[in-house]
Amino acid sequence: MEQKKRFLILTSDAGFGHRSAAMSVSRALTILFGEDQVNLVVNPILDSPSLSLMKPIEKNYDKGVRNAPSLWRLGYEFSDSRHFSELMEGALTLFLQRNIGDFVKSFMPHAILLTNPMFNAPAGKVRQEQELNIPLFAVVTDLADVHSLWFAPGPDLFFIASDWAKVKALGNRVPLRKLNISGIPVNPKFASENIDKTKLREGLGLQADLITILFVSSIRVEHILENLHALDNLEYPLQVVVIAGGNDDLYQALLEDHFNFPVIIKNYVENVPDWMLASDMLVTKAGGLILSEGLAAGLPVLLVDYLPGQEESNVRYVTSHQAGANVENVGEFATMIEFWLKNDQEQLKRTAASSRLVGHPEAALTVAKTMWERLQKNS
């Protein structure tokens, strides 16, 4: 009897994107290969019993980004070079090699997938010191202007989101043969065919015939409440869904507020694909994962916030492909909504078509298939 293929997926919980990409690939492996494989998703920083200086950094990531965005931008831009990244890789190997090595020894994988750049160098060192003849893959979870740290020389193949990321990878001396433009992995449900939007809306408690605007927030997204109230005076038949994304203060404020349109308020949901596939547009921040989900669903994206440095290029990517727009204040927000909805939603439909062109709903399935084929080829 042939041995099951074992995939170790190393992720982190600094923001939602890394773990979401990891879980999407995990689902794709299960969908495609079922009981012929087994996969394990772990955070080698937080899930390890070993003490690590990285644990407080991981736990306080969101707070640090939210409280000092200018400082975060300075650090991001200052460190974004191959030379500086090589120095960081040495330190990360020192801090994380033992944790990663312990998981590798206990799980004995046939392949390793990384979804955070901090793991590339230490995972490569583990493979070398344990003398493992197994492939090492990396999913890059940034959409456009990718930090140089992603391109440590350890992985055999990098799954990247776009041609923009490809340019950055080549500039960091990554050979072309190591690059696969797969898109950022999103839930395989986005790749489902023949979605019945009417039935989906009815199942979610939405009215089938109203324009549906989805707001997705988190503890790092600003300006949600004031932009919601900008919709109060619009004379269009619309309904709104707000997912607070674990932002308890926003969630409570929404529950206590009143709006002049039907609204469904959620704090945190597991079925994000359903809400996106039931919607007509997405209002959110410029995070790589949430944008990839919105584009995979073919949604026009209205950006109301972004992280300085890291997410600015995501804004440029979406707007340059005419898949969405960026607004700086409530007035611009209301103007853009009006622009998209007037003339029988003509501009909204055009933007949706552009979004579908650059989306990768099949990304997780592509990553899973590619890893599997690499293993089959090497066996």
Mean pLDDT of 151-157: 91
* Whole-angstrom distance, CA of residue 19 vs CA of residue 118: 14
pLDDT value at residue 95: 84
Q: Specify the pTM.
A: 0.90
Segment 8-36 shows an average pLDDT of 93
Quick one: pLDDT at residue 166?
96
Out of 12-16, 135-139, 151-155, the most confident range is 135-139
pLDDT at 60: 53
Q: What is the pLDDT of residues 255-286, one digit of tens each?
A: 999 999 999 999 989 999 999 999 999 999 99
For residue 21, pLDDT over 60 is answered with yes
Instruction: Give the pLDDT mean for 60-75.
Output: 57
Q: Are the C-beta atoms of 194 and 184 separated by less than 8 Å? A: no
Mean predicted lDDT score pLDDT of the chain: 90
Q: Is the pLDDT of residue 71 over 60?
A: no
Report whether pLDDT(37) > 60: yes
Between 47 and 277, residue with greater pLDDT:
277
On the question of pLDDT at 56 being above 60, the answer is no
Q: Tens of pLDDT along 194-241? A: 889 999 999 999 999 999 999 999 877 888 999 999 999 898 999 999
Which tops the pLDDT comparison, 315 or 69?
315
Q: Is the dihedral of CA 141, 146, 152, 156 positive or negative?
A: positive
356 burial type by CB count under 10 A (0-12 exposed, 13-18 middle, 19+ buried)? middle
Mean pLDDT of 340-348: 95
d(CA 253, CA 246): 13
- Structure tokens belonging to residue 290: 């949430």
pLDDT reported for residue 62: 55
Q: What are the φ and ψ backbone dihedral angles of 255, each rounded to 5 degrees? A: -65, -30
Return the pLDDT at 67: 56
Euclidean distance between CA atoms 186 and 17, whole angstroms: 10
pLDDT band at 61 (very low <50, low <70, confident <90, very high): low
What is the pLDDT, as a whole number, of residue 378? 76
Whether 98 has a pLDDT exceeding 80, the answer reads yes
192-358 maps to CATH 3.40.50.2000: yes
Q: How far apart are CA 150 and CA 206, in angstroms?
A: 41
Q: Which residue has the higher pLDDT, 280 or 89?
A: 280
**Is pLDDT at 26 greater than 60 in this prediction?**
yes
Q: What are the start and end residues of each CATH 3.40.50.2000 domain in the chain? A: 5-186+361-378, 192-358
Rounded Cα–Cα distance for residues 139 and 311 (Å): 17
Q: Indicate if the pLDDT at residue 50 is higher than 80.
A: no
The CA distance from 28 to 37, in Å, is 11
Mean pLDDT of 174-187: 97
Lookup: tokens for 376:
């089959």
10 has a pLDDT exceeding 60: yes
Q: How crowded is the C-beta side of 177, counted as CA atoms within 13 Å?
A: 1
**What is the pLDDT, as a whole number, of residue 140?**
95
Q: What is the mean pLDDT of residues 344-358?
A: 96
More confident residue, 70 or 80: 80
* pLDDT at residue number 87: 76
Q: How far is residue 44's CA from residue 62's CA, in Å, rounded to a whole number?
A: 18
pLDDT over threshold 70, residue 70: no
Please check the confidence at residue 54 and state whether its pLDDT lies above 70.
no
Q: Which of 3.10.300.10, 2.30.110.10, 3.40.50.2000, 3.90.1010.10 would CATH assign to domain 5-186+361-378?
A: 3.40.50.2000
Assign 3-class secondary structure to 222-273. CCHHHHHHCCCCCCCCEEEEEECCCCHHHHHHHHHCCCCCCEEEECCCCCHH
Which own/partner pairs from 335-343 qualify as long-range (CB within 8 Å, at least 24 positions apart)? Answer: 336/302, 337/213, 337/230, 337/231, 337/234, 337/302, 338/234, 340/281, 340/300, 341/211, 341/234, 341/236, 341/238
